[in-house]
Amino acid sequence: MEVKILSAKFDIEDSHRLEVAKKHGAYGTLEKLFAMDPADVIEEVKNSGLRGRGGAGFPAGVKWGFLPKDLDKPIYLAVNSDESEPATFKDRYILVRDPHMMIEGIIICCYAIGSHDSYIYIRGEYTSQLKILQEAIDEAYEAGYLGEQVAGHDFRLDVTVHRGAGAYVCGEETALLESIEGKKGQPRSKPPFPAVVGLYDCPTIINNVQSIASLPFIIEKGAEAYRAYGTEKSAGTHLFGISGHVEKPGMYELPLGLPLMEVLNEVAGGVWKGRQLKGVIPGGSSTPVLTPEEAHTVTLDYESMAEHKTMFGSGGIVVLDETVDIVKLVENLIAFYHHESCGQCTPCREGLGWMLKIIRKFIAGDGREDDIELLLELCDNIEMKTVCVLSAACTMPVRSYLEKFRHEFESYINSSNSDPVQSQAE
């Protein structure tokens, strides 16, 4: 069931070092790449069906095609390695186990879009990952894969690592650009979109680590070889980080389109300790939860997730067993997003704090039936009423818990009203 494309070198000792990586094919695509026309590279990526692996799932090659033509400005590539979505840990595997695969992908992308300067924006807490990544970049410069003449060709490329300061919102692409520019990490209003007005007011492509790391295979083997995995609309493989209440949590590279429960049972060993499944978070904390019934009918691809009114997201799957207190889970969720709000938009800044106060009323035993309706109303009035989707990343999953596990919220109300003296006083 597992496939080794992105993870081909993960289990090789010292695979992060150039000498070892080259023995296993690193930078082997460059001669073929520089013999191609940049437009043909973009077309090959389009034909591969590669979709953005940061969560949105937008076709990578199509995104590159949005760059304006014949504009007298530099073009930038920003690689989003601000992996801050709770339950997501796929990109750091690439940074630590095979950074040269990503660097090779950066070369491919920059050649295709005509960029000579790339920035890797890395999560501030990724200190050990940063050290390994920077060492790999230094090796690539020394070997001539970066710099004035990439692999001896008339193409300059410089790569700079920019370390974030621990703000979740900087994973949003325009907040990431603001941060690189030295400003407060707050999302920009769109349009204009980064492909037109991005870093330093210049055209900019922003791609996720895993998206960029997928490029060497596509250029080496071809679009059809990549399409041999996955489904027609969700092509290729994906790194799935499976955590929570399973027997074998970990990172697994799998073709898209597999049945979720088949993966959880056969790959991750099933729900741990012989317990029952309560729910599955399919793609990181911002994705609506799936009930056990839904989990048995969904497949791991963008279309099936959408049909089940949730999202594929980052591929960070969290398994919840029967012992999970959904109300306390929701408190934890709202507290995170309230803390991470940049404060730019009133619905997010004030609304998420209001939701947190309400959920804590339940936990304190003071919740009421109409508080459930108020929370649902707040979700409707906050979601998509802000510059970026951070608020929606909170309200979408919260709404799913309220609708699918309403009885657990009601049980807090019932237990708080079980005292007859308290009931009479009310």
Domains and CATH numbers, the chain: 18-227 (3.40.50.11540), 237-321 (3.10.20.600), 326-416 (1.20.1440.230)
How many other CB atoms are found less than 10 A from the CB of residue 138? 12
Angle, nearest 10°, between helix axes 90-97 and 99-113? 100
Give how far the C-alpha of residue 66 lies from the chain's centroid of Cα atoms, to the nearest Å: 22
Beta strand 277-281 with 316-321 is antiparallel
Residue 281 belongs to what H/E stretch? strand 277-281
How many angstroms separate the CA atoms of 256 and 51, rounded? 11
Q: What is the pLDDT along the chain (426 residues), one digit of tens a residue?
A: 889 999 999 999 999 999 999 999 999 999 999 999 999 999 999 999 999 988 788 999 999 999 998 889 999 999 999 999 999 999 999 999 999 999 999 999 999 999 999 999 999 999 999 999 999 999 999 999 999 999 999 999 999 999 999 899 999 999 999 999 999 999 999 999 999 999 999 999 999 999 999 999 999 999 999 999 999 999 999 999 999 999 999 999 999 999 999 999 999 999 999 999 999 999 999 999 999 999 999 999 999 999 999 999 999 999 999 999 999 999 999 999 999 999 999 999 999 999 999 999 999 999 999 999 999 999 999 999 999 999 999 999 999 999 999 999 999 997 765 543 343 334
| pLDDT score, position 420 | 38
Handedness of CA 358, 364, 368, 369 (dihedral sign): positive
Number of helices and strands in the chain (H, E): 20, 8
Nearest to 83 by CA among 176, 5, 2, 218: 176
- Put simply, whether the predicted model's pTM sits higher than 0.85 gets the answer yes
User: Which pair of tokens denotes residue 287?
Assistant: 């994705």
φ, ψ for residue 287 (rounded to 5)?
Answer: -100, 140
| pLDDT score, position 197 | 96
| pLDDT score, position 416 | 60
The length of the chain, given as a count of residues: 426
